[in-house]
Every structure is written in structure tokens, then in C-alpha cells.
Copies of this chain bind each other. A is one copy, B any other.
């Protein structure tokens, strides 16, 4: 939940993407740690219950140094990259979804690629993880001393 490690570009893109998603009825949560220990940049619950993962890449080096995005595909119904306006778009895989965003707005350049729906058991587990992450993080903001309990849990 601490975005202190994000670059200003990553933070701006993440904010713009989240605004874009909320505007479309999605409920986004940033920095969601999967059961594998991997942390996705943005996970969003769609109005129909499907799960979208957004991988934010702030610059070419950020993309080239990190090939773990493919591991996320089996934890979502849809996947898309999100990058700032000055990102070299040709670097990105042409088959995957693409959003360009600054801190205020976002444009969908390519929709997420069609993908098999998650199995019911996986969807249930990921939705549970998503809900628990959002609720516990919210509680921590509303009652900061809870940090002690959550850290021990």
C-alpha cells in the first residue's frame, strides 16, 4: 500500500488509470499481492465480477528489466499495460491491451486481448484476496494503530 517507491511517472499513470477505471464502474486497488507473492500494480473488479490486471510501466527501462507480467495472466480475466504519454509504445507486445495515462486522464489505445475466463475456484480465491486487501487497507487508514495487528497477521 506504500507507493513511496514508485517513480513520479508511475504514480501519475497509476492515478490516471484508477480514475479512468472508477469512471467506468470498476473498483481498482493498487499493489495487490497475489498468493504467489508477486504484486500486481492495479487489480480492478469489473461490474460483472470479472478481474482486470493493469501492469504500469513508467519508462522503457522499467519494461525491459521486468518480464514477470506474463505470470499475472492466470490471475485475471483481462490484462492491460498502462504507460505514460512519453513511453515508446513499439516496445510493448502488440497483442496486449494498452492504456496511455497521465495523472488526470487515460485513453485506451488497445482493449485487453480476449482470454479464457478464470475458473470459478480461481476467481473466487482472487476476488477474496482483492476484497480482503481493500478492506484491511481501508481499515488501516481509518484506524492507524491497527498496523500492529495487521503486521503480525
Contacts and interface: CB of A to CB of B under 8 A. Distances in A.
Given A15-B143, A146-B19, A153-B22, A49 B135 contact: no
Interface stretch (A62-70, A73-81, A87-95, A124-132): A124-132
Copies of chain A in the complex? 2
A53 to B, nearest CB: 14
Interface in A122-153: 124, 127-128, 130-132, 134-139, 141-143, 146, 149-150, 153
Contacts of A136: 22, 27
Contact of A29 (B15, B45, B138, B141): B138
Contact of A131 (B19, B130, B137): B130
Given A19-B146, A143-B15, A149-B23, A138 B134 contact: yes
A18 interface: yes
Contacts of A132: 27, 45
B19 A135 contact: no
12 contacts: A15-B143, A19-B149, A25-B153, A27-B139, A29-B138, A30-B142, A45-B131, A130-B135, A134-B134, A134-B135, A134-B138, A138-B141
Contacts of A27: 131-132, 135-136, 139
Given A127-B127, A135-B27, A143 B45 contact: no
A28 interface: yes
Interface string A6-39: 0000000001001100110101111000000000
